[in-house]
Amino acid sequence: MTSSIAEKIANIRQELPAGVRLIAVTKGVSVDAMGEAYAAGVRDFGESQIQEAAVKQARLLDLPDINWHLIGHLQSNKVKKALEIFQWIHSCDSLSLAQRLNRVASELSLKPQVCLQVKILPDPNKYGWTIPELLADLPGLDRCDMLQIRGLMTILPLGLSEAESLTVFERTRTLSLQIQEQNCSNLKMQELSMGMSGDYHLAVRAGATMVRVGHVIFGDRSP
Ligand SMILES: *Cc1c(COP(=O)(O)O)cnc(C)c1O
């Protein structure tokens, strides 16, 4: 017998330490399934695409207390739309994007919560700052004062062993500590958005505060 969405969510919650936020990743997932997750207590939903999220949001207006998290790459021409529909942007991946978010947030009188996406290992298929690039951009990020910069986000490259995965998550945490020591008053750095269906156990061991879990809740996505 297959377990329900509510049972799967309950199982995951049991494994998460208190204070770790479960973000249900719902790209490719129906609004009905999202409604089941909501009924099971989920209030944080992660989407990769603006358009898909906008359509779902319009259909879920009767569920007003959802936090919407953008977890996919954001093109600069979609910044305004993204700010209108997401409270959290996990995928801020360059200084120029941060500056644009800052400018448009100011125009809209919004103060979005933002994570900085980092690449701990080289990965040509992923967006994000390398460690030296991020350290060099900290002063510029610190001036983006409409953004509530809350922490780091990372996605593992494919094909790592458990030990290698844990190392990447731990390196992300030490990078966050290193940034906290720079006395950049706008960089709060309490959050670590890391861990997906296959690796959230490891991410939590390394100090994740937000895990982004899709297919172990909702099953395999339709293509
Ligand atoms: C799709 C996605 C997830 C969730 O992946 P699952 O393996 O289905 O848990 C998490 N984070 C990001 C950035 C994603 O694109």
pLDDT of the chain, 223 residues: tens digit per residue: 568 999 999 999 999 999 999 999 999 999 999 999 999 999 999 999 999 999 999 999 999 899 999 999 999 999 999 999 999 999 999 999 999 999 999 999 999 999 999 999 988 888 999 999 999 999 999 999 999 999 999 999 999 999 999 999 999 999 999 999 998 999 999 999 999 999 999 999 999 999 999 999 999 765 4
Amino acid at 203: A
Tell me the CATH number at 162.
3.20.20.10
Alpha-carbon distance of 129 to 90, in angstroms, equals: 13
| Cβ within 8 Å of residue 164, ≥6 positions away | none
Mutate to test the pocket of ligand 1, among 74, 91, 196 (most ligand atoms within 8 A of CB): 196
Residue appearing with tokens 């967006």: 127
* Domain-embedded: residue 223: no
* Domain-embedded: residue 94: yes
Nearest atom of ligand 1 to the alpha carbon of 197: 9
Nearest atom of ligand 1 to the alpha carbon of 196: 9
Alpha-carbon distance of 99 to 167, in angstroms, equals: 31
* Domain-embedded: residue 157: yes
* Domain-embedded: residue 166: yes
| CB of residue 23 inside a 6 A radius of ligand 1 | no
State how many domains the chain has.
Answer: 1
| CB of residue 69 inside a 6 A radius of ligand 1 | no
Tokens of 216: 């172990």
Give me the domain span that covers residue 111.
5-218
CA–CA distance from 190 to each of 10, 60, 138 (Å)?
25, 30, 16
